Structure 1
Amino acid sequence: MTDRIRVLHVDDDPEITDASTSVLEQEQCGITVVAATTVADGLHRLDGNEFDCVVAGYDLPEQTGVEFLNAVRKRQPDLPFILFASEGSEAAASDAISAGVTEYLRADGGAKPYVRLAHSVVDAVERAADETEHAHNTRRERVIEELHTTARAFMRATSEDAIAQITVDAARTILNMPANAVHFADDNGLTPVTWTDQVEELIGKPPVFTPGDGLAWQAFETGETRIHDDISSNPDRYNPETDIRSEILLPLGDHGVLLIGSCEVSAFDDTDVTLARTLTVHATAALDRLDRERQLREEREFIDQALDTLDDLFYVLNADGSFRRWNRRLPEVTGYSDAEISNLEVCEFFPPEECDTIHEAIDQALNHGRTTVEAEIRTADGELVPYEFTGTRLTDTDGETVGAVGIGRNISQRRAYEQRLERQNERLDEFTSIVSHDLRNPLTIAEGNLDLARTECDSDYLDEVSDAHERMRALIDDLLTFARAGETAIDIEPVALATMVQECWQTVEADRATLAVEIDRQVRADPAKLRRLLANLLRNSVEHGSGRSESDDEQSGENTTVSVGPVEDADRHGFYVADDGPGVPPDDRERVFEEGYSTGEDGTGFGLKIVRRIADAHGWTVTVTESETGGARFEVTGLEPA
């Protein structure tokens, strides 16, 4: 302590001040004594310098030592003051103690009074330092406790403006920093949002700091707290005419800054800066929380909006089967309000006889990961609507099952379509029964009678009857094939195209035709139906590929080359069957698929119609165009690779 002690000794007796200077500076190394002979001179020196202790006589020229003590206390309340009286009395001592003097000593009392004075000065300064430190610690503890209370207020704040107001109020009332303001970052720069009355008294309304503008922007841009003991000489200060001298500039993350100012030089110590930083840490955390909550709210609103655009039902179930979340379609379909849905169990949306099925489906999703079930929703009005529900297990971050998420799709149209198909298939079965039995039986009788007639007579007319029978049997076979080509039962499996083409070629009467297979791939198809489709296309190419006259049976397929290859472009996947014959005129390319269309006397007009019907049953597309040699090229596309 002694190397920092500066003593002001005020007394009109030079012998006393000289003696104190000599003894104090000799006995206590490092003590410096500044002497003054009058009260006015003493006050003047006190105002212009820093002292650790004041020593004064009692009988001074202008006033008593006690009156001088009162004047010092008004300037520096905590400065140690020792009354060193050359002549004293009990009354003088009582007045001094009542006035709050640090210590009262007699200059003529006891041995070595100046040595006692030196010790008293050191003791007084040390006690004052301890009391100051204790006061700082007490203030720090009190402020930290109050800042914790403010932290709770920050966490309850629901807007940035509220957080700014809490920050400004806490800096003013808790930190005792009355001149402060909060600026938030926006498109314009750092815009003031909240400030104290003292700020407005000093500078008016706080300015907007644009990028690169002033010391405030430097603190915000670097993210570092800036402390300026005297900004009057700083070339980067925003306003050269300001009365503010000291500043603490504290960033609030990327949200803005807290500015604290004072008209005094070096007004803020390390404790002030630490406490101010603590305040901004709480404020920044609260602002970050609001940002996260806003982002989560916007993300949830986006997800809700996306889910609400679905025509299907979307739902999330808790593990106990209660609804946790749903989209707008659920109340629209069921007729229940959101409040009612939140209090209903899943089973209450279905008829009693469906409840076991629904519970089993939920258990399947929760325990095995996924389920699909069909059931009828019972609306608030009692209407039953068929739906297909899917459910998938939902887990938390630890992998624990917390519920299920799923989609409900209205299958009313599918049910109606299936019922129509069922009725159509029933009628189709009746039709095929008639064709296969009621027409074939009379034809068989007619063919038998024709054979008997040939034994009794020989006539060219009988050959014409035989040809008519053969055409009738071909028509019956094609009619059955055509009817069955569109049946809904499609048994899909991988099929090797090249192998099936070779097999179909063996059934085609093509002794004078050549097959070129240029494809080697597997596709997913119904083997029986694909075989019929390929056989019809190959037969069509052989029969029409040579460009012969229909009456010239001897030339059937002569010199015809039929090729089968892949169709591969950006939008289509499939195969083609092409020949080198005369081709199909552009105007007839769609008509060839019409029922009954044929260019030959022996054709039934069902061959290509059957091809298209089989393609439709698979979801494929069949078209006809021109081959590279000018013949016909049939393309079947939309196939799925195996």
Structure 2
Amino acid sequence: MSDRIYVLHVDDDPAVVEAATGALKQAHCGITVETETNVADGLKRLDEGTFDCVIAGYDLPGQTGVEFLDAVRKQSPDMPFVLFTTEGNEAAASDAISAGVTEYLRADGGAEPYARLAHTVVNAVERTADDIEPTQSTRRERAIEELHSTARAFMRATTADAVAQVTVDAARTILNMPANAVHFADGDGLYPAAWTNQVEELIGMPPVFEPGDGLAWQAFETGETRVHNDVASSPDRYNPDTDIQSELILPLGDHGVLLIGSCEIGAFDDTDVTLARTLSVHATAALNRLDRDRQLREERDFIDQALNTLYDLFYVIGTDGSLQRWNERIPEVTGYSDDEIDEMSVSEFFPADEHETVAAAVEKTRASGRVTVEAEILTADGERIPYEFAGTQLTDADGAPVGTVGIGRDISQRKAYEQQLERQNERLDEFTSIVSHDLRNPLTVAEGNLELARAEYDSDALDKVSRAHERMRALIDDLLAFARAGETATDLESVALTGIVEECWQSVESDQATLVVEGDRQVQADTAKLRRLLANLLRNSVEHGSTGAQAPADNDTDHSDGSATVRVGVIKDTDRNGFYVADDGPGIPEDDREQVFEEGYSTGENGTGFGLKIVQRLAEVHGWTVTATESEAGGARFEVTGLEPA
């Protein structure tokens, strides 16, 4: 061999190039290193000069180091080529070895990677000069071809133990390494998973390596391939009395290690190491695939379990109208088996009179992306069950529609409630009709006859009859208001509080009361219902505030003339948006403030006991709350809260 070695190093990392050049020159005084940063310039430099070896990184601008290797092999099949990279990619290592790389080294792998690089380059150039490499290349190419056929066996393996057995068989038959074993990491140790008969002949049953035990654990922990040419010289060997003299240990990622032994010292050359690495890369990839498959199965099982716990129907509809996926609730509800459902179209789950509705909903989902529709399911037994379906369009990565995913909810109870409510409303209409017509008409007749009786007789008994008529008419009015208050507030509009309060005040007998409006705001309400609510509150304040009783001692209001002051204002607390109606009368005892809203509760001689109950009902249909408390003057104060912010 010439005393001069010419090396071309292609890498765009200046720090790696500088460190590698220093190590090369330190290893051999006759080394000349020329550098390029990309594949195109590297190939051009090869065409222009003569080189003994090429070093390249993996992640190069424009092309990878493996693509560079392919180009070099076309020009110089026997040129030593070392892939020296910080990219620890198993697939890249496999591709490089398959493409005929002389050596694959990690720049960040273990101690003194640059010294190992220099040693590898010098040895590769020396072997080429001595015409050793062509023989090794032929052996390697044949073995790699056979290992590629083994890759198909790895793909067929469905368990980690099957992968271990394929690995052991390939090392024995293809690589001619009869003493080998695979150990898998399980918890805190490396446990034997597969081994050859020769292993048992040499050492008996393969051991379990605990953390820190032997050379195998070191290789697993560091993730580096270890070549021990003389095991007896290593103080960390597991068994000092072993007959194994050479050992090759290859990590299988996080899964374990491949152990290859020999009774000869220095039994493994670089080609052996390269081929064993190729095998370990295939095995690691197969184990990773099994891990991914297991994780996917676990995730799918978890999702299936979650979907099957739903009381609702879950479904995925394909673009052809068939069910692609469904939960267990669908066969439970419909009475069809999974095999039957697999053959059915969506329309077959609905009666004929629902087909148009369902088809329109599916089309709307495709157009707008989301839809909600009510339709009745037709079960295998002919039963019709009302459901509400909410569907959302599914798209692929390019945004193209691929189907619909949705949930179906049984609304039988809701429909039954709606029917019950409808019947109740019908009965309510009948009741209000009776109250407003069948009771008012006889009352009107009675009042007319009373007037005739007054013309003929002058009796205190007739006054009692008149008061009874007035009470009956008040009861009829309050009963009608109470019944109608239960309806939903639908005709909402924004009204000014001041305006509607003053309007209601006109309908209240207020000769002995004064209205004071303290602030204004807009109220979103059903105007007719709000008018009734305010009128009842105002009338209550007038009737119970104009008592002629003296106010508390700390109140300056004079009630000696029986007058009262009614105040209406805005509650400005942000957490209690609303308004109040307050008076300066005797007020409501604290223990009675909840009772005043009960049906029939009244302290007045002529009260019906429905006025404040109607107020509460009218507030509830708006989503408001009404409470009774004490006013600043010591009287009664009614607060209506829960309004939308003004």
TM-score, normalised to structure 1, is: 0.70
Alignment partner of 2:253: what SS? Answer: coil
Q: What is the rounded CA distance, in whole Å, between the counterparts of 2:559 and 2:430 in structure 1?
A: 37
Q: What is the rounded CA distance, in whole Å, between the counterparts of 1:515 and 1:240 in structure 2?
A: 103
Instruction: Tell me by how many angstroms 1:203 deviates.
Output: 2.5
- Relative distance call for 1:535 and 1:297 in structure 2 (3 A) is farther
Q: What is the rounded CA distance, in whole Å, between the counterparts of 2:468 and 2:246 in structure 1?
A: 118
Instruction: Tell me by how many angstroms 1:457 deviates.
Output: 7.8
**Partners of 1:567 and 1:576 within 8 A in 2:** no
Instruction: Tell me by how many angstroms 1:498 deviates.
Output: 6.1
**Partners of 1:564 and 1:578 within 8 A in 2:** no
Q: What is the rounded CA distance, in whole Å, between the counterparts of 1:289 and 1:531 in structure 2?
A: 73
- What is the aligned partner in structure 1 of residue 608 from structure 2? 604
Does the alignment pair 1:558 with 2:564?
A: yes
- Relative distance call for 1:171 and 1:597 in structure 2 (3 A) is same
- What is the aligned partner in structure 2 of residue 151 from structure 1? 151
- What is the aligned partner in structure 2 of residue 205 from structure 1? 205
Deviations 1:92-120 (A, max 9, x none): xxxxxxxxxxxxxxxxxxxxxxxxxxxxx
Supply the RMSD in Å over aligned alpha carbons.
3.9
Instruction: Tell me by how many angstroms 1:504 deviates.
Output: 7.7
- What is the aligned partner in structure 2 of residue 242 from structure 1? 242
Stretch of structure 1 that moved more, 397-406 or 244-253: 244-253
Instruction: Tell me by how many angstroms 1:561 deviates.
Output: 5.8
Alignment partner of 1:261: what SS? Answer: strand
- What is the aligned partner in structure 2 of residue 50 from structure 1? none
- What is the aligned partner in structure 1 of residue 297 from structure 2? 297
Does the alignment pair 1:354 with 2:360?
A: no
Q: Within 5 Å, which residues of 2 pair with 1:150-549?
A: 150-446=150-446, 466-487=466-487, 489-491=488-490, 506=505, 511-512=513-514, 526-533=526-533, 535-537=535-537, 539-540=539-540, 543-544=543-544
Deviations 1:406-458 (A, max 9, x none): 11111211111111111111121122122223333444455556667777887
Higher Cα radius of gyration: 1
Instruction: Tell me by how many angstroms 1:181 deviates.
Output: 1.7
Alignment partner of 2:481: what SS? Answer: helix
Report the identity percentage.
71
- Relative distance call for 1:541 and 1:442 in structure 2 (3 A) is same
Q: What is the rounded CA distance, in whole Å, between the counterparts of 2:486 and 2:333 in structure 1?
A: 35
Counterpart of 2:200, as a letter, is E
- Relative distance call for 1:238 and 1:308 in structure 2 (3 A) is same
Stretch of structure 1 that moved more, 560-569 or 141-150: 560-569
Q: What is the rounded CA distance, in whole Å, between the counterparts of 2:590 and 2:605 in structure 1?
A: 22
Instruction: Tell me by how many angstroms 1:544 deviates.
Output: 4.4
Q: What is the rounded CA distance, in whole Å, between the counterparts of 2:239 and 2:633 in structure 1?
A: 90
**Partners of 2:391 and 2:406 within 8 A in 1:** yes
Counterpart of 2:311, as a letter, is D
Deviations 1:30-74 (A, max 9, x none): xxxxxxxxxxxxxxxxxxxxxxxxxxxxxxxxxxxxxxxxxxxxx
Alignment partner of 2:564: what SS? Answer: coil
Instruction: Tell me by how many angstroms 1:318 deviates.
Output: 0.4
Alignment partner of 2:249: what SS? Answer: strand
Q: What is the rounded CA distance, in whole Å, between the counterparts of 1:554 and 1:439 in structure 2?
A: 41
Instruction: Tell me by how many angstroms 1:190 deviates.
Output: 2.0
**Partners of 2:505 and 2:535 within 8 A in 1:** no
Identify the match of residue 592 of structure 1 among 577, 596, 605. Answer: 596
Deviations 1:62-94 (A, max 9, x none): xxxxxxxxxxxxxxxxxxxxxxxxxxxxxxxxx
Gaps of 5+ in 1: 4-125
Counterpart of 2:158, as a letter, is T
Counterpart of 2:359, as a letter, is H
Q: What is the rounded CA distance, in whole Å, between the counterparts of 1:307 and 1:224 in structure 2?
A: 44
**Partners of 1:564 and 1:577 within 8 A in 2:** no
Instruction: Tell me by how many angstroms 1:513 deviates.
Output: 6.1
**Partners of 1:567 and 1:575 within 8 A in 2:** no
Instruction: Tell me by how many angstroms 1:325 deviates.
Output: 0.8
Does the alignment pair 1:613 with 2:617?
A: yes
**Partners of 1:542 and 1:562 within 8 A in 2:** no
Alignment partner of 2:266: what SS? Answer: coil
Deviations 1:350-393 (A, max 9, x none): 11222122112111112221222222211111111111222111
- What is the aligned partner in structure 1 of residue 76 from structure 2? none
Pairs aligned (count): 514
Alignment partner of 1:232: what SS? Answer: helix
Stretch of structure 1 that moved more, 415-424 or 195-204: 195-204
Deviations 1:270-292 (A, max 9, x none): 21112111111111111111111
Deviations 1:323-357 (A, max 9, x none): 01111111111111111111111111111222122
Q: What is the rounded CA distance, in whole Å, between the counterparts of 1:281 and 1:374 in structure 2?
A: 56
TM-score, normalised to structure 2, is: 0.69
Instruction: Tell me by how many angstroms 1:549 deviates.
Output: 6.3
Q: Within 5 Å, which residues of 2 pair with 1:88-107?
A: none
Q: What is the rounded CA distance, in whole Å, between the counterparts of 1:205 and 1:637 in structure 2?
A: 82
**Partners of 1:248 and 1:259 within 8 A in 2:** yes
Deviations 1:131-182 (A, max 9, x none): x544322221221111111111111111111111111111111111222221
Q: What is the rounded CA distance, in whole Å, between the counterparts of 1:207 and 1:522 in structure 2?
A: 84
**Partners of 2:180 and 2:258 within 8 A in 1:** yes
Instruction: Tell me by how many angstroms 1:395 deviates.
Output: 0.9
Counterpart of 2:246, as a letter, is S
**Partners of 1:308 and 1:328 within 8 A in 2:** yes
